[in-house]
Structure 1
Amino acid sequence: MQNGVHFISGLPRSGSTLLAAILRQNPRLHAGMSSPVGSLFMALQGAMSRRNEAAVFIDETQKRELLKGIFDNYYHAVHPSKMVLDTNRAWCSKLPTLVKLFPEAKVICCVRHVPWIMDSIERLIRQNAFELSGIFNFESLNTVYTRVNRLATSDGLVGFAIDALREAFWGENAGRLILVGYEALCKEPSRTLDQIYDFLGERRFAHDFENVEYEADDFDLGIGTPNLHKVRRKVSWIERETVLPPELFNRFANDAFWMVPELNTHNVPIIVPRG
């Protein structure tokens, strides 16, 4: 991590894996799907809390070094000389801690209109008709309504990510964020990547948007959700009809709070398609 660490966070099914697949074409950068670092980070925080009676022997400096050591040790072994962009939806909820560990860190938040996030997950479940997904605890008896309702709860896959993004968007560290719209990434990848590089203070790179590669087949199969992290070779935008019942789709139609200018009180930069 000699060249620093930044973070990719935001909403699920909103382009974080695609963005990482593009960025990793740059030999100066390392990016990927959610790494083990986030879960190790959260587990260590729990182990150092008062839930552990021996935590009384761990002072704040030690806590800082132990948490930072997860990043140092993991990425020193993997990519010691690259700038790291670590991915996890929970990072938006951990900014007060992250900025103390990495004072120069910035966060790229991938966003997408929420109805289409729900649609994307439902479409993936239906494509894997003979698999039960770990997203829903491998349960067999459910419907599109129970699945979407579960995703939307505050501890659900989508609901938690939205709450974490809200926390960061209106928090004291909002100046570290940039929001990247999925539609902008797909329709205008070159312009979008240029803005991301400018935000990070990195020199721009000529990416090949016709030949993007990324796979995590073993991971996806392990959670019963093949193609969860599959990235199409060519970056493009595909228009489609939703598979959700109208009332479910419309339920989330106004949840894109980041698209309301009056609510952007910290002037967070937001990349959306032109026109």
Structure 2
Amino acid sequence: MDRFGTDMVKTSPTFHFISGLPRSGSTLLAALLRQNPRFQAGMTSPVGNLFSSMLNQFSAGSEFGPVITQEQRKRLLAGVFNNYYADQAGKDVVFDTNRQWCAMLPALLDLFPQAKVIACVRNVAWVMDSIERLYRANPYENTKLFNDDVERNTVYSRVDTLAQRNRLVGFAWAALKDAYYGEHAKSLLLVEYDLLAATPERVLRLVYEFLDEPWYEHDFEHIEYDAPEFDQALGLKGLHKVRPKVAVEARRTILPPDLFEQYAELSFWKDSRSSEANVIRTSREAQDMGRDNG
């Protein structure tokens, strides 16, 4: 027994992060990873917002900034992670999900030097198609994705709104591009949704290799994840529901052709010449078909 009266000192888990584009497989990836009893993973947590809010209190313009040292800032921010996940007994590895992590790599990797970021990606046109399908599946609800009728009136206004740099898709895309070409790109692994849905075991083995973790035999026929209360509060039923079996589903887009073509050319991760990021991707020819699995 140590001097604190406990039989052993609890060690902090290893932290990794899931980020990237919405509707690109992050919930599916988390649902698979959480099958491993050593892993904790899930949908977007409040840690990102808590982290940002605390950082604002430290920064220029805050009355508290001048009295909080750099080391105190780091301890407080690291404490957000450690305290939020303190009740995850037996979990050696924690994956926190948030699209803003790609924009905060300098801070994350200073706090957790061994951390890795897995960014889920997908042809942006199919991201927009997937969100539009969810919107149309909830015709009696004005989702919180849009602020007013001007933004939600037509598919054109909805997609253009989502693409703005401070909105759901536009912010995630810009943050990911920032990380992809940034100085911490080696800590980033991009996973293409089409490949994850088509060959989940192959992709997951590469993820484990990237994380330097021993392989765990996953069950790709029985997957469980849903967050109906969260989705209901957002006004977008089914946003985080994952089907029980990983499978691909071919379909035609519901976006007008000109709109689809406009956003289909934004897959910057197809060009690896100026980035040190790791990418699991399909060939360009595979992008002519959209697939959804949650």
TM-score by length of 2: 0.89
User: Cα 1:233–1:102, aligned 2, differ >3 Å: closer, same or farther?
Assistant: same
User: Cα 1:15–1:79, aligned 2, differ >3 Å: closer, same or farther?
Assistant: farther
Local SS of the residue matching 1:232: coil
Q: Identify the residue that residue 67 of structure 2 maps to in structure 1.
A: 57
Q: Identify the residue that residue 248 of structure 1 maps to in structure 2.
A: 259
The residue type equivalent to 2:188 in the other structure is L
Aligned partners of 2:131, 2:14: CA distance in 1, in Å? 33
Q: Identify the residue that residue 3 of structure 2 maps to in structure 1.
A: none
Task: Calculate the aligned-residue CA RMSD, in Å.
Answer: 1.5
Q: Identify the residue that residue 270 of structure 1 maps to in structure 2.
A: 279
Written as runs of structure 1 = structure 2, the 5 A alignment for 1:79-94 is 79=89, 81-94=91-104
State which of 123, 135, 151 in structure 2 corresponds to 1:125. 135
| Alpha carbons 2:40, 2:91 under 8 Å: kept | no
State which of 208, 233, 238 in structure 1 corresponds to 2:244. 233
User: Cα 1:132–1:79, aligned 2, differ >3 Å: closer, same or farther?
Assistant: farther
Aligned partners of 1:49, 1:174: CA distance in 2, in Å? 26
Q: Identify the residue that residue 17 of structure 2 maps to in structure 1.
A: 7
Percent of aligned positions with the same letter in both sequences? 49
Local SS of the residue matching 2:189: strand
The residue type equivalent to 1:157 in the other structure is L
Written as runs of structure 1 = structure 2, the 5 A alignment for 1:127-146 is 127-137=137-147, 139=149, 142-146=153-157
Superposed CA deviations along residues 71-104 of structure 1, whole A, max 9, x for unmatched, are 0101112346331000000000000000110010
Q: Which runs of 5+ in 2 are unaligned?
A: 1-10, 287-294
Q: Which has the higher helix share?
A: 1
TM-score by length of 1: 0.95
* Structure with bigger gyration radius: 2
- Moved beyond 6 Å, runs of 4+: none
- CA shift, 1:139, in A, is 4.7
Aligned partners of 2:24, 2:185: CA distance in 1, in Å? 20
State which of 30, 35, 52 in structure 2 corresponds to 1:25. 35
State which of 102, 106, 124 in structure 2 corresponds to 1:96. 106
Aligned partners of 1:134, 1:51: CA distance in 2, in Å? 31
Q: Which runs of 5+ in 1 are unaligned?
A: none
Local SS of the residue matching 2:59: coil
User: Cα 1:234–1:20, aligned 2, differ >3 Å: closer, same or farther?
Assistant: same
Q: Identify the residue that residue 148 of structure 1 maps to in structure 2.
A: 159
